[in-house]
Amino acid sequence: MNILTTLPRFFAGLMALLILLSACESIGGNSISYSGQEEPQSPDQLLASTPEYLIGPLDQLQVFVWRAPELSTDVVVRPDGRISTPLVEDMLAAGKTPSALARDLEVVLADFVRTPEVTVIVSQFSSTFDQQVRVLGEAQRPVALPYQAGMTVLDVMVAVGGLTEFAAGNKAVLIRGRGSNRSSYRLKLDDLMRKADVRANVPVAPGDVILIPESIF
């Protein structure tokens, strides 16, 4: 391939990526940037930094009470962030992890049930931008995806249709957090998608942004 004809395409792609990133900043209300001078962290560090999902308004929850099926129910988090279940009239759910909400329900149910054991599962998500995973650059369909519990980079790449022909997948970067808490992690998407190397698959978290650059050659 002639480098003289390739360079204009590279710079055009770079400008398009910067424009997309600028739009992402405007939507999220916070600055997100990545400098090639930074050294992205490893997949092991990415795994260790993955936070738990926080329940939000309009999320649909499955509440299971062990040995008490009459107390188990499906419930939608109200716009005020609260839920009502059998014997629990009004409890704040938004902003809690599913396990934290389960422990709070156990405290209330202990007045009615001997040693209650509660499990909370988010069955449907009503994601805000903070609860989405966004993909920019050389994906077949760059989009913002609703986060789902247990979601991985492979799930994201399947949802966006994989890499384009010109993607530099092994130079992709995942950005997590904002401001002083922002970290970047190197992804090996070529190894994952084109070589089926499952070692390159890592979990994603709500609010993650995946940047996929264009290859020069």
Total count of domains within the chain = 2
Place of tokens 């014997």: 87
Tell the residue number behind the tokens 């709070």, with chain if given: 104
Look up residue 87 and give its two tokens: 């014997």
135 and 208 inside one domain: yes
**First-last CA distance in the chain:** 7
Residue 144: predicted pLDDT? 85
CATH number at residue 34: 3.10.560.10
Q: Are 108 and 140 in the same domain?
A: no
- From 94, 124, 154, the end of a domain falls on 124
Look at residue 124 in the predicted model and tell me its pLDDT. 79
What Cα–Cα distance (Å) separates residue 137 from each residue in 42, 102, 116, 208? 21, 39, 48, 14
Where is the domain boundary, 73, 91, 124?
124
Q: Is the dihedral of CA 192, 198, 200, 202 positive or negative?
A: positive
158 and 180 housed in the same domain: yes
The confidence score (pLDDT) of residue 106 equals 96
Tell me the average confidence (pLDDT) per consecutive run of 10 residues in the chain, 217 residues long.
Answer: 48 49 41 42 57 79 94 91 92 90 96 94 73 89 84 94 94 86 90 93 90 85
Do 76 and 13 lie in one domain? The reply is: no
pLDDT at 29: 37
User: Residue 60, CB half-sphere, CA atoms under 13 Å: how many?
Assistant: 4
Provide the pLDDT for residue 49: 54
Question: Would you say 155 and 161 are in contact if contact means Cβ atoms under 8 Å apart?
Answer: no
Q: Which value, in Å, is the radius of gyration of the alpha carbons in the chain?
A: 21
Domain range for 91 is: 60-124
At residue 215, the pLDDT reads 87
Select from 74, 102, 124 the last residue of a domain. 124
Q: Are 173 and 185 in contact (CB under 8 A)?
A: yes
We report the CATH number of the domain holding residue 116 as 3.30.1950.10
Contacts with 151 (C-beta within 8 Å, 6 or more apart), sequence order:
133, 203, 204
Task: Give tens-digit pLDDT for 104-143.
Answer: 999 999 999 999 999 999 887 775 667 789 899 999 998 8
**140 with 41, same domain?**
yes
Same domain, 87 and 21: no
Q: Write down the pLDDT at residue 7.
A: 45
- Give the model's pLDDT for residue 55: 84
DSSP state of 37: T
- Note whether 102 and 136 are same-domain residues: no
pLDDT of residue 31: 33
